[in-house]
Amino acid sequence: MRWQRLGEAARTLARGRSARLTAAGVAVLVVLALTWVVAVASISTVSTAGGPTGSAGLPTAPAVAAESSAGSPGSSAGSSDTAAGPSAESKRIAPPGPGDPGLPVDVSGAARDRSVVRNARLELSVGDVVAVSGRLRSVAAGVGGFVASEQSVDRSASFTLRIPAPRLDEVMNQLTAAGKVTARSEQADDVTDQVADLDGRLASQRAGVARIRALLDKATSVGDVVLIESELTQREADLESLQKRLAAVSSQVAMSTLTVALTPTPAPEAQPAGDGFLAGLAAGWRAFVTASGALLTALGAVLPFALLLALLGGLGLLGRRLLQRSRRSGHQPAATPDTP
């Protein structure tokens, strides 16, 4: 009986201890949950009162930079900016990304900002090459363009025109009406990135030249002056080369190249004759004239040789007769005198 009572007492103590441990664990979890809620609420309050927040409820980098500049000693400008309101950096709006919905995009403005080089070629078949060439020069001069090169071969002509890019289509339409278009092609190259790269390199090169000139003004020894002047000359040469490249690309963008080839219109082919007696008579007469012409041509070609052969044959025949006559005179018997 004693051992049973001791076992029951031990089990009762174990149940009480497990219940106390469970209650203590639940209490700890409740305390941790309340602490997390209070921490999140305090962070949200600070971010709302102090400046713009990020996606997770934390202050953004511009707000942190403004706070740190305001709190640091000796930064009166930062303190005034913080007191007046959010800094200029925090007011800046980031450009919309490609996936941002609902934001307006100015497609026409973006297209206008592109730098595009346009080239075209036009081949025309015209009745009067000289007249169309004069009209071509007039059209180019009328839109502010000019003839860069001109070449004439036989009855054909080729021109290379420089036309303002916005007037290229207008000029091509005017020239198309001057004849029959046998070939037409256009080409466009986007050089926006190239222009932007040249602009950036030019700005950097100008800044470098300015720094070298400032160093030259402060140079005191002859060696320093010579060294700095050499470096300045090299940088100025690089700057001039970049300027020429940018000018060439800008000229290609502003003035399009149009190549025009003019060829005379071919003569119309002879129409075939109709049917009937007159048509057959005309065809027979043409065949007779053609055959007669061929026969006379052959006779004219053979006649000199025939005359030569006839002359040689006559000379041969004459020589043969003379030979026969001489033989006959040699074989005749001599005459005998009569006896009384």
Residue pLDDT, tens place only, 235-284:
999 999 999 999 999 998 999 999 999 999 887 665 555 567 777 888 88
Cβ neighbours of 282 (radius 10 Å): 13
- What is the reported pLDDT for 200? 92
- What is the reported pLDDT for 271? 59
129 Cβ partners below 8 Å, 6+ apart? Answer: 155, 156, 157, 262, 263, 264
Q: Which of 20-34, 101-115, 313-327 has the lowest mean pLDDT?
A: 101-115
How much is the average pLDDT of 186-198?
A: 91
**Is pLDDT of 97 > 80?**
no
Burial group, residue 165, by CB count within 10 angstroms (0-12, 13-18, 19+): middle
**Is pLDDT of 62 > 50?**
no
**Is pLDDT of 189 > 70?**
yes
pLDDT band at 24 (very low <50, low <70, confident <90, very high): confident
Fill in the DSSP letter of residue 105.
Answer: -
How much is the average pLDDT of 107-125?
A: 77
- What is the reported pLDDT for 273? 52
The answer to whether the CB of 257 falls within 8 A of the CB of 186 is no
Shortest CA distance to 262 belongs to which of 169, 146, 117, 158? 158
The answer to whether the CB of 81 falls within 8 A of the CB of 68 is no
- Using DSSP, state whether 102 is helix, strand or coil: coil
pLDDT, tens digit (0-9, with 9 covering 90-100), for 147-163: 999 998 888 899 999 99
- What is the reported pLDDT for 5? 62
**Is pLDDT of 53 > 50?**
no
Cα–Cα dist 225/231, whole Å:
10
Containing 118, the helix (H) or strand (E) segment is strand 116-126
Largest CA distance in the chain: 226
Burial group, residue 21, by CB count within 10 angstroms (0-12, 13-18, 19+): exposed
What's the mean pLDDT when you consider all of the chain? Answer: 74
**Is pLDDT of 296 > 60?**
yes
How much is the average pLDDT of 329-338?
A: 58
Cα–Cα dist 246/266, whole Å:
46
Q: Which of 214-223, 277-286, 325-334 has the lowest mean pLDDT?
A: 325-334
Beta strand pairing call for 180-190 and 255-264: unpaired
Q: Report which residue type is found at 299.
A: L
Q: Which of 10-19, 129-138, 163-172, 209-218 has the lowest mean pLDDT?
A: 10-19
- What is the reported pLDDT for 121? 93
Place of tokens 């953004």: 60
Tell me which of 261 and 326 has the higher pLDDT: 261
Cα–Cα dist 70/84, whole Å:
11
**Is pLDDT of 170 > 50?**
yes
Tell me which of 112 and 69 has the higher pLDDT: 112
State phi, psi for 272 to the nearest 5 degrees: -65, 145
- Using DSSP, state whether 51 is helix, strand or coil: coil
